[in-house]
Amino acid sequence: MARYIFITGGVVSSLGKGLASAALGALLQARGFSVRLRKLDPYLNVDPGTMSPFEHGEVFVTDDGAETDLDLGHYERFTGVSARKTDSISSGRIYTNVLEKERRGDYLGKTIQVIPHVTNEIKDFIDVGSDEVDFMLCEIGGTVGDIEGLPFFEAIRQFAQEKPRGQCVFMHLTLLPWIKASGELKTKPTQHSVKELRSIGLAPDILVCRSEGPIPQKEREKLALFCNVRPDAVIAAQDLSSIYDAPLAYHREGMDQAVLDAFQITPAPRPNLDKWEDVSERIHNPEGEVNVAIVGKYTQLEDAYKSIAEALTHGGIANRVKVNVNWVDAELFDREDAAPYLENYDAILVPGGFGERGTEGKIKAAKFAREHKVPYLGICLGMQMAVIEAARNVAGVSKAGSEEFDHEKGEKRFEPVVYHLKEWVQGNERVNRTVADDKGGTMRLGAYHAVLTEGSKVAEVYGTTAIDERHRHRYEVDVKYRKALEDAGLCFSGMSPDGRLPEIVEWPDHPWFIGVQFHPELKSKPFDPHPLFKDFVRAAKDVSRLV
């Protein structure tokens, strides 16, 4: 039976609960334990799938097709454990489940209330799969005191009460601000945060305190005294130059030992941190650097492309180079020539997105990469724009475009080289969709098989002709244009098993130009970089050494 670690946050948001949870999971794995991490988000959206990237950052997609919080990406990158639909839940999903049960009559005529019906639903979710792992780490989104988070805090309070003593531990992440004018590190915000937590029946066993520098012994003792935790359970979480230093930094601070002590696991197995030491050594001792331009439409918020940025870092780790990522607003090229902005980069990446805004700029970026032989990786919309560019400028389809843009505008302007995907095969079933369907959860989501062409660049990169990758799209390159495009030189080197859906395109006469309909960044890890990102950075490295 699993032991449970509940991670809460206080003072302010964005302190790094997801990163702390992921690093703790990695440390427990290093000691030989099995872990699973999950996220409980108090917002009322059923999932993040319908949120703007500016609102919530990227949407992380699991193999089984769940659209989840970006923290699940951290969980996977640090532990290598593939997330599932059951590892992400929101108030919206909880209330939907409760109301569906009420409509069916499952509650036998009772009045439906937050306690016990909503809290019971949350507790049932927490307990899913508890017999599969040694530790279940559950992160509660938001901060203590948020009104929407109260049902979740109450649910974990009840959950801990119902489990045998010593089976649940609470870890609270707070901020220790440095007041420059007085030259002091202030503990009062943390004291108030813990006071708020205790007022709703939760007492932290471990305090993780974010700070710019080390925590002096005097402040540690003060925090331990006023927050009622052991001095060795006050963990400093200092700012780091790389997030992949977090497991080593937290281990030096004694986080994993504090958790095991709280569970009274003695003697604890010694950790094997070799792979994290190797990752850290590669990050801090690169043998060169490359410059990559990400031409996107959500560049004002880097979290919108979090997994892509991390996957590029992983590619750098594999090639022992530092990857300098530069964010370029695609709309800039709607008005200006792309060449002056892109000519000094070693590689260009065009990521996914929705809507017409910025797409002409992405098309210009793909054209520049094709004509100037710059390594190019197009992901989802980035592949579609590369195909439209090829259709317009090489295959002679002058009005090539996407049906998505016509739907958005409400008028027909383009020849739809990219069309609305109306049906596809999922497992043994055929899925059907229309433009009028609800937006949430209706895309082609999750892991699907693809078959690669023998002898193609991607087959060489993957080292196989059969792959599984995660998808998130509702528009698709129309296979009826395949012959015209291949006659023009563009190779459709990856297809769905039934041959109906293009998955990968590449220019064989280009040093490295690949577009993929799926999202390879979602499966990359620092100790297991995705093959496409690994080889993309290698190609950029080769270019940088030619300059």
Catalytic positions, written as ranges: 380, 519, 521
Q: Are 295 and 381 in contact (CB under 8 A)?
A: no
Q: Is 381 annotated as a binding residue?
A: yes
Q: Is 101 annotated as a binding residue?
A: no
Pull the structure tokens for residue 13: 């948001």
Q: Is 82 annotated as a binding residue?
A: no
- Interaxial angle between packed helices 359-371 and 381-393, expressed in degrees from 0 to 180 and rounded to the nearest 10: 70
Query: Which is nearest to 122 in space by CA: 89, 149, 150, 163?
Result: 89
Please give the biggest Cα pair distance in the chain: 75
Q: Is 79 annotated as a binding residue?
A: no
Q: Is 189 annotated as a binding residue?
A: yes
Query: Which is nearest to 366 in space by CA: 345, 395, 389, 341?
Result: 389
Q: Are 9 and 17 in contact (CB under 8 A)?
A: yes
Q: Is 517 annotated as a binding residue?
A: no
Q: Is 474 annotated as a binding residue?
A: yes
DSSP state of 412: -
3-state secondary structure of 234: strand
Q: Is 281 annotated as a binding residue?
A: no
Q: 57 CB contacts (<8 Å, ≥6 apart)? A: 70, 301, 303, 304, 306
Q: Is 270 annotated as a binding residue?
A: no
Tell me which amino acid residue 53 is. Answer: P
Q: Half-sphere exposure of 10 toward its Cβ, with a 13 Å CA cutoff?
A: 28
- Chain center to CA of 538: 23
Q: Are 56 and 155 in contact (CB under 8 A)?
A: no
Q: Is 254 annotated as a binding residue?
A: no
Q: Is 148 annotated as a binding residue?
A: yes
Q: Is 404 annotated as a binding residue?
A: yes
Q: Is 214 annotated as a binding residue?
A: no
Q: Is 278 annotated as a binding residue?
A: no
Q: Is 437 annotated as a binding residue?
A: no
3-state secondary structure of 361: helix
Q: How far is CA 345 from CA 29, 137, 325, 383, in A?
A: 39, 41, 10, 19
Q: Is 441 annotated as a binding residue?
A: no
Q: Is 384 annotated as a binding residue?
A: yes
Q: Which residues pair with 195 in a beta bridge?
A: none
Q: Is 147 annotated as a binding residue?
A: yes
Q: Is 16 annotated as a binding residue?
A: yes
* CA–CA–CA angle 79, 85, 522 (5° rounding): 50
- Interaxial angle between packed helices 306-319 and 274-284, expressed in degrees from 0 to 180 and rounded to the nearest 10: 90
Binding residues for CTP: 13, 146-148, 186-191, 222
Binding-site members are 13-19, 71, 139, 146-148, 186-191, 222, 240, 353, 381-384, 404, 474
User: Known binding site for UTP: residues?
Assistant: 13, 186-191, 222
Extract the annotated binding site for L-glutamine: 353, 381-384, 404, 474
Q: List residues forming the annotated binding site for ATP.
A: 14-19, 71, 240
Binding residues for Mg(2+): 71, 139
